[in-house]
Structure formats: C-alpha cells, structure tokens
Amino acid sequence: MVFDDISIFEDMDDAWLEGLIQKPERIKAEISNPRSAMMLNPLKLKHLNKIDHLDADVIVINLEDGVAPQMKKRALLLSAVFISHLKNSTSKIIVRVNPIYEGGKEEIAFLNQVKPDVIRVAKIREVSDVQKVLEILDSDIKLHISVETKESLQNLSNLNVDSKVECCSLGIMDMLNSMGLPHSVLEFGNPTIEYIMSRFLVDAKIAGIYPIGFTYQDYENLNDFRKWCKLERSMGYGAKSCLGPKQVEIANEIFGTNEEEIEKAKYIKRRFEEMVKEHISGFMDDKYGFIDEPIYKDALLILGQI
C-alpha cells in the first residue's frame, strides 16, 4: 500500500492535496514488453492505493473518460500525490491525460514534477499533436499514444517522431465513434473489426511502436475476453488493455512466455550457430525440419521477448 490510511483523503480540499505532493524517489520497474495494461480510476482510492503491488505489467491511471469534468482537477491531484509517495512498483506507472487541447497540456506540465514512467495522451490525431506533447513532456518521461480516431489510425505509421514514443494503445470504442460505426460491430469474425485490429498492429510495427490491444468493456465476461486475447496473440499482439485483476490474470497468461516455444527457440539458435561455423546456413534438422536464417531470426525474436 502507498499509504497506511487513506480515509484522510476523502474530506480534504484540493489545496491540502497539492501540499502533499513531494519529490519522487521511487524505484522504477524495468518492463520492456508488457503483457497487460490495467486501467485505473484515480478517484477510487482503494484501487489507487494498491499501485505498488498489482500484477499488471502496466498501470494506466486514467484522467480522461470515466472522470467527470468537475472532478478532473481532483483526479489529477490524487494521481500526483500517490505517484510522488510511491517508493517502488512492480508495474510501469502511466497517466492517461485528456486530449492536448482539452486540458492535456496543462495536465502534462503538472505531472512532470512527479515523473510517472509514461504519459499517455488521449485522441492523438497527427504528427503535430505528438510534437506539441514532446515540447512539454519532461525528458525522463516516455510517451504512449492512444489511437482512437480515424485520423490517428491513418497517420499511425508516421507518429514515431522521437525515441520517447514507445507504445500505442487501440481505443476501439472511440475509433468506431470516429468512423460513424455502431459499437454492435465489435464481434468475433467481423471483417471490419479484424481490419482495424490488423491495420493498427501492422502500422504500429512499421513505426516501431509497441502495440497494446483494445480494452474489452464487458469485464465480467471473462470467456469472451480470453477469446479476444487468444485472437490478438495469434495476430501478433503482445499485450492487452485490461479492466480489473481478473482480466490481468488472463492477459498475463496468454501473452506470457511459452516454455515449449522458448526451448524450441534455444535449440534452433544453438543448432543454427553450430552449422554456420561449418559454413552451412540452411539444413534439415531431425527435430524441427528445415532450419535457415529466417527461422533462426524468428528464434532470436522469441528469446528477445523473455
């Protein structure tokens, strides 16, 4: 827990909260390929107080949707207080701010002082939006992009304008709104949804940005959540946005490392490197059939994700 007693926060005014913000001294989590990104409402103090020991690889403190306009300042202050008092965490700490022209710029400037690992900006549309964020963002903080408009999907492959841009998340519901499509099309086997998911994934890979799959809103329907995770894993995704610890558990399982895959990759790496020493780069193997350089590179990719 970040604080032993959180009841004191319930009746305190904004000025008192701001006075609690301190210089951050936490030990940051080193996570390069997350499996799960759990959304968290900062107004729910019991949840916010657990950010030091949740199982999600990434915790997204969400200041945008889910926070009423009149509560956004308090949500921002609470986020800053808890992050600044955090001593260590097993998760990357991200704050999702509002769109840059709807309070996001001011939120980023305020959050710079507590240095979350990452700022995630809602409804980025084009390269100039990213550049405006980078002008404000502290040099120690990375940037994640929420791809949730038709413009951002169209421009995604060009949005990696700086090494600070490391990840993007697909906001499927807002994306459908942006395109004038009803949410009812979000079904398994719908070619429109599969196209959006595929394009997002491929363009993110082209840009060199790590993609995270969309948030599945029906958090009690774990069977369908598992199906979406398996589909995304088969497509090439490595992570899923989550609502709550039960979804996190499933995402960590499905997007986690497979021991059989790892052992196979280690074997292929060893055999290929042995044969290259004999000036042979393509050969038949008794265990896994034909092995050549592309097969070897795929093994290295798998081992690099451990």
190 part of a folded domain: yes
What mean pLDDT do residues 63-77 have?
93
The total number of structural domains in the chain stands at 2
% residues pLDDT > 90 (the chain): 83
Which domain, by its residues, includes 225? 7-256
In a domain, 2, yes or no: no
Whether residue 150 is found in the same domain as residue 193 = yes
Question: Is residue 1 a part of any domain in this protein?
Answer: no
pLDDT at 4 over 60: yes
Per-residue pLDDT of 37-52, as tens digits, reads 999 999 999 999 999 9
Q: List C-alpha distances in Å: 193 to 81, 179, 259.
A: 39, 12, 31
The answer to whether position 126 is within a domain reads yes
What proportion of the chain, given as a percentage, has pLDDT over 70? 99
Residue 168 lies in a domain: yes
In a shared domain, residues 264 and 252? no
Residue 218's CATH number: 3.20.20.60
Same domain, 152 and 226: yes
Tell me what the mean pLDDT of segment 137-166 comes to: 94
> Torsions phi, psi of 146, nearest 5?
-90, 115
- Residue 170 is predicted with a pLDDT of 97
> Does residue 85 or residue 257 have the better pLDDT?
85
Whether 99 is covered by a domain: the verdict is: yes
Q: What is the pLDDT of residue 304?
A: 76
**CB 267 within 8 Å of CB 279:** no
Residue 66 clears pLDDT 90, i.e. is over it: no
At 196 the three-state DSSP class reads helix
Residue at 238 is within a domain: yes
Tell me how far apart the alpha carbons of residues 104 and 100 are, in angstroms, rounded to a whole number.
Answer: 4
Instruction: Classify residue 241: in a domain, yes or no.
Output: yes
Q: What is the mean pLDDT of residues 54-67?
A: 94
168 and 57 part of one domain: yes
Residues 157 and 182 in one domain: yes
| pLDDT, tens digit (0-9, with 9 covering 90-100), for 101-122 | 999 999 999 999 999 999 999 9
Q: What is the pLDDT of residues 242-279, one digit of tens each?
A: 999 999 999 999 998 777 888 898 999 999 999 999 99
pLDDT at position 305: 60
Residues 38 and 154 in one domain: yes
Question: Kindly report the CA angle at 74 between 72 and 76, in degrees rounded to 5?
Answer: 70
**Residue 60 φ/ψ, nearest 5 degrees:** -110, 105
Confidence at residue 259, expressed as pLDDT on a 0 to 100 scale: 77
pLDDT at 255: 94
Residue 198 binned pLDDT confidence (cut-offs 50, 70, 90): very high
Whether 52 and 171 share a structural domain = yes
Q: Are residues 237 and 278 in the same domain?
A: no
Do 20 and 162 lie in one domain? The reply is yes
* 67 and 15 within one domain: yes
User: Do 30 and 176 fall within a single domain?
Assistant: yes
So what's the pLDDT on residue 151?
Answer: 96
Instruction: Identify whether residues 153 and 41 lie together within a single domain.
Output: yes
